[in-house]
């Protein structure tokens, strides 16, 4: 089934947001300020947590995202 087969609107509601880099850090409680930073490492944005580069979230600022609908063929 494709999106065009639906007789009602389809919308994305999974709450993924594309925010500014500081949105991950600006609302941290005071005791955590400075523990998490965003930095450019080898041309990619990375999270630095307690002074260590974290790869847990490989694209924390969502600068590179898939084109809308790019997975439609895969899931059909």
Q: Encode the chain (76 residues) as per-residue pLDDT tens digits.
A: 565 677 877 776 666 666 677 877 888 899 988 898 888 888 888 889 999 998 888 777 777 778 888 888 888 8
40 is in which domain, residue-wise?
7-64
Model-level pTM greater than 0.85? no
Q: Looking at the domain assignment, is residue 76 inside a domain?
A: no
Instruction: Output b/e per residue, 24-34; b: 16+ Cβ within 10 A.
Output: beeeeeeeeee
74 inside domain: no
Residue 57 is assigned to a structural domain of this protein: yes
pLDDT score of 21: 74
How many domains are contained in the chain? 1
The pLDDT score that the predictor gives to residue 74 is 86
Span between the terminal Cα atoms of the chain, in Å: 6
User: Does some domain include residue 2?
Assistant: no
User: Nearest to residue 28, comparing CAs of 57, 49, 44, 55?
Assistant: 49
Q: How far is CA 71 from the centre of its chain?
A: 17
Q: Give a yes or no: residue 47 inside a domain.
A: yes
């Amino acid at each position: 089934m494709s999106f065009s087969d639906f007789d009602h609107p389809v919308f994305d509601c999974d709450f993924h947001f594309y925010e500014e880099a500081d949105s991950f850090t600006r609302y941290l409680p005071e005791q955590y300020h400075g523990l998490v930073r965003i930095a450019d490492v080898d041309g990619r944005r990375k999270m630095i947590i307690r002074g260590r580069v974290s790869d847990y979230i490989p694209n924390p600022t969502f600068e590179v995202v898939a084109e809308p609908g790019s997975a439609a063929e895969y899931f059909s």
